[in-house]
Amino acid sequence: MLGSLLRKVAGVVAVAGGAAVATAGARYVGSKRINAAERLGQALLDSSRLEEANNLANNETEAALAACAAYLINVAHQAAAGITGPPAVDAIGYERKVTDDRSNAVATVITTAHDPEARWQFEVEVPGIARVTGSRRLKSSRFAGTKVHMATPDTVSIRFDNGYFANIESDLEFNGHLLPVKGPRTQIFGTASLSDNRGNVGRMRIEPNGTVSGTVTRGTEIIGRFEGSLAEGLTFQQYLAT
């Protein structure tokens, strides 16, 4: 999973926790028939990034938007981890609910289509923090050597109880390795567009090797930058006013 956001004295906010990202979904790594809706629901419940965004939203909105981006990457990685073949899907119209005992968050995932691509609508209620709504698609898979390749575009809206609001649209893809490999068995890559109701706009790119780059802007000014990689650690560096 992605690590916590930790404020650094030079205006650097950690987004990812290094090699720990490879542990997401480890208990499913041997299964080829993971239920996609169940996995998505479990991933959506990892609300620690949302709790951090909630704390940052009043005074550091660019960092709050970065935390929301970290939440999306975490969801995408956990939802894909261990999938090495077409996942199991619920019947169309089936509503699946999962809950988190720590935060009392509840995630609801409704399967809306199977062919030509699987689709889901989802909602997460994190009491006292935020409400997340969105949609996910799982596009047709293809095999490349010992890897299965799938695309999972997401559209996510996060409305916080304190009035902060963020939108994220991603065009992410993933590779799931059929055989044991050195390093993460699931690779996530692609792009994400970010915006909020405080005038911040962001763009993030994840390369197939896990390298992450991107910026957050307000108007014509760059006010923060994503740097690093999912494997070694990702940071969001704020350009704080002096």
pLDDT of residue 234: 78
Per-residue pLDDT, averaged over 173-177, amounts to 73
Pick from 68, 61, 28: which is nearest to 158 by CA?
Answer: 68
Complete domains list, the chain, with CATH: 12-238 (2.40.160.120)
Pick the range with the lowest mean pLDDT from 55-59, 68-72, 138-142, 181-185. 181-185
Q: Which residue has the tokens 């065009």?
A: 171
Instruction: Please tell me the predicted confidence (pLDDT) of residue 207.
Output: 93
Q: Give yes or no for residue 54 having a pLDDT over 80.
A: yes
pLDDT of 105 > 80? The answer is yes
Determine the average pLDDT of the residues in 230-241.
80
Interval 9-19 mean pLDDT: 41
Residue 176 has phi, psi (to 5 degrees) of -110, 120
- Determine the pLDDT at residue 184: 57
| pTM of structure | 0.83
> Is 202 in contact with 215 (CB distance < 8 Å)?
yes
| E strands in the chain | 12-14, 95-99, 106-113, 118-126, 130-138, 142-144, 147-160, 165-177, 186-196, 200-206, 212-218, 221-229, 233-238
User: What per-residue confidence (pLDDT) applies to 115?
Assistant: 83
Does the pLDDT of residue 39 top 60, yes or no? Answer: yes
pLDDT at residue 143 is higher than 90: no
Residue 241 pLDDT > 80? no
